[in-house]
Homo-oligomer: A and B are copies of this chain.
């Protein structure tokens, strides 16, 4: 029985500052990042600021964050686990995530 799909993630060395800044520049995406700063979350448990957001919009927000290298979105059984890539971000852009989460 196939599980949920594997998605691609950029390597740490591939992360681009402008992509990361863009990913963090949206209030809904930033709210997701703030939640994940507390630890990994099942995608279904991740709250949107606007609970009426269509599922497609929610998926797109996750895609922008994943493609910029801000989060990992990985299969966990039949669900998806979201993880903030804090070590990768701190290594490539020291202080950036702390300054954003502090606000």
Contacts and interface: CB of A to CB of B under 8 A. Distances in A.
Instruction: Report copies per complex.
Output: 2
A63 B53 CA distance: 30
Contact of A24 (B21, B27, B94): B21
A58 to B, nearest CB: 18
Interface stretch (A3-11, A35-43, A95-103): A95-103
Contacts of A30: 17-18, 21
Interface residues of A, number: 20
Contacts of A98: 95, 99
A18 B96 CA distance: 13
Interface string A48-78: 0000000000000000000000000000000
Interface of A: 17-19, 21-22, 24-27, 30, 92-96, 98-100, 102-103
